[in-house]
Amino acid sequence: MNPETGQTVAADQAVGMPQLDFSTFPNQIFWLVVALVAIWLILTRVALPRIGAVLAERRGAITNDIARAEALKLQAEEAGAAYDKALADARAKAQRIIEKTKAEMQEQLDIALQKADAEIAAKTAESERRLAAIRDSASAAVEEVARETARDVLAAFGAKADATTVDAAVASRIKEGAA
Amino acid sequence: MADGSGFNIKPMDQFLVKPLFGGDAVHWYTPTNVTLWMGLAVVAVSLLLVYTTRGRAIIPNRGQSVAELTYGFIYKMVEDVAGRDAVRFFPYIMTLFLFIMFANVLGLIPFAFTPTAHFAVTGVMALAVFISVTALGLILHGTAFLRLFWIDAAPLALRPVLAIIELISYFMRPVSHSIRLAGAMMAGHAVAKVFAGFAGALGVGAVVPIVAMTALYGLELLVALIQAYVFTVLTCVYLKDALHPHH
Amino acid sequence: MEGDLALLGKYIGVGLTTIGMGGAAIGVGNIAGNYLSGALRNPSAAAGQTAFLFIGIAFAEALGIFSFLVALLLMFAV
């Protein structure tokens, strides 16, 4: 360290802290006030209103967007409801058509069934009638055979019997047998 | 030191107020390095808040986002700390915050001058806050403002003692308010200067103080921002006392 | 030689004064640590209390800065 710098160190130390050099205070205070007033003017005249306006505008835009999104959502919900309604209508219509077709088919089926039933009944009646005729003729033949057989048996035994008595007896026996 | 032993470190030289255009006399109107760095702070404020927002975009770009974040940060702080009705003082608090922040941060540039490391500067700001807040409290609440010092929650016998303590602490406010900022700034810059002096004297070993300086600069940046924040928060706290002295 | 003795006393005084900053360091660490433990217990309430954290730190720190200031005054102004 050369003596010269040593000298300046001593000189500076004589000054001490520059913060306590009161001769510079008016200068600092004056320029501080100037700087603060300048910043205050910049802020209140330009910066703060501008930023505040931008922020308010953004808030407004966001609120608008949210409202619009709300409206769109409502519209979408309405469209969804309409779609659901159309779907339900179509379904109901289809149901009706199905029911109608079913009913028609049932009707036709019923008619066909009735026809078939009638035919079957007619055929059954016919068969029964024929069967009855056959049975009647058969039973008449049986009676006849019985009567004759009875007469022949009586004749063979030599017993005398008039025809009406034999007929009545045979008829009663046949009736008993039938019962 | 006077006999030439030890390091040739003059940590306080960076705080010297010097005329910009030569000469020795510092009159109140002389443009000095104080003028230069305060002017740069004003320029930085207009760059941050005016130049970046010139687009007034709904969807902000990077610069505008920073400006809006700063605005929102201080606005919310005033609202939260000082109350809803303190918002009308928002421009003043914003002015203080921006000036202190930029003076602090610009002062970190090597060979820069830090106006906020001077008691003259911080003292004027702290006194301005103190006087205006006290006047505001007296105008708004009259003598009821003095109930700030009369603590109803305390036992009656203790109240006069507490009132004296409260009064003293109230008048200590501007002192601590200004010395905190100036002291923190001065301390950081002086320590940085001392480390830098080590680096100059150690030759190859200068790596160690240079690494330390790098870490210190990170810390100093943090301190510069926090001190600006603290100054404004305390301003808001004092403002709240003036607006609502009954807590 | 007498001047050197005065200088010695001055430097010892400055060194002693800086001890005061240790107290501020303890205070600041206390505040930050308690804030952190509180914030970990109830993280949802932490964000609203950062302003009070910084106010507390500022008050504790101010006293350390006072002692630093006294050291500077002794060193450079006395």
> Is the confidence at residue A10, as pLDDT, over 50?
no
C12-51 tens-digit pLDDT: 999 999 999 999 999 999 999 999 999 999 988 888 788 8
Residue of B30, B33, B42 to mutate for A, most A C-beta atoms under 10 A: B42
Give the dihedral of Cα atoms A166, A170, A172, A173; nearest 10 deg. 140
Distance from CA of C41 to the nearest CA of B (A): 23
Residue B74 lies in a domain: yes
Quote the domain boundaries for residue C45. 2-77
What pLDDT does residue A13 have?
A: 43
Residue B39 in contact with residue B46, Cβ under 8 Å?
A: no
Number of domains in chain C: 1
**Domain encompassing residue B109:** 13-243
Q: Which residue of C has its CA nearest to A9?
A: C76
Residue A9 Cα, gap to closest chain C Cα (Å): 11
**What confidence tens digit (pLDDT) does each residue in A15-44 have?**
577 888 888 899 999 999 999 999 999 999
Distance of CA A6 to the CA centre of its chain: 100
* Position A12 pLDDT exceeds 60: no
Say if B8 falls within a structural domain: no
Is B164 contained in some domain? yes
Q: Does residue B233 lie in a domain region?
A: yes
Contact B79, B243 (CB under 8 A): no
Residue B114 included in any domain: yes
- pLDDT on residue C46: 85
Residues B227 and B184 sit within 8 Å (Cβ to Cβ):
yes
Across the interface, of C48, C57, C69, the residue whose CB is closest to B183 is: C69
Q: Count of domains in chain B?
A: 1
Which CATH number fits the domain that encloses residue C57?
Answer: 1.20.20.10
Note the residue count of chain C: 78
Chain C nearest CA to B178, separation (Å): 10
Q: What is the pLDDT of residues C40-74, one digit of tens each?
A: 999 888 887 888 888 888 888 888 888 988 888 88
Q: What is the pLDDT of residue A5?
A: 39
Q: How far apart are CA A72 and CA A55, in angstroms?
A: 25
Q: What ipTM goes with this model?
A: 0.88
- A52, with CB counted inside 10 A (0-12, 13-18, 19+), is middle
Tens-binned pLDDT, residue by residue, of chain B (247 aa): 344 444 567 778 888 888 888 777 888 888 999 999 999 999 999 999 999 888 888 888 888 999 999 999 999 999 988 989 899 999 999 999 999 999 999 999 988 899 999 999 999 999 999 999 999 999 998 888 888 888 888 888 888 898 999 899 899 899 989 989 998 898 888 888 888 888 877 778 888 888 988 999 999 999 899 999 999 999 999 999 899 887 5
- Gyration radius from chain C CA atoms: 18
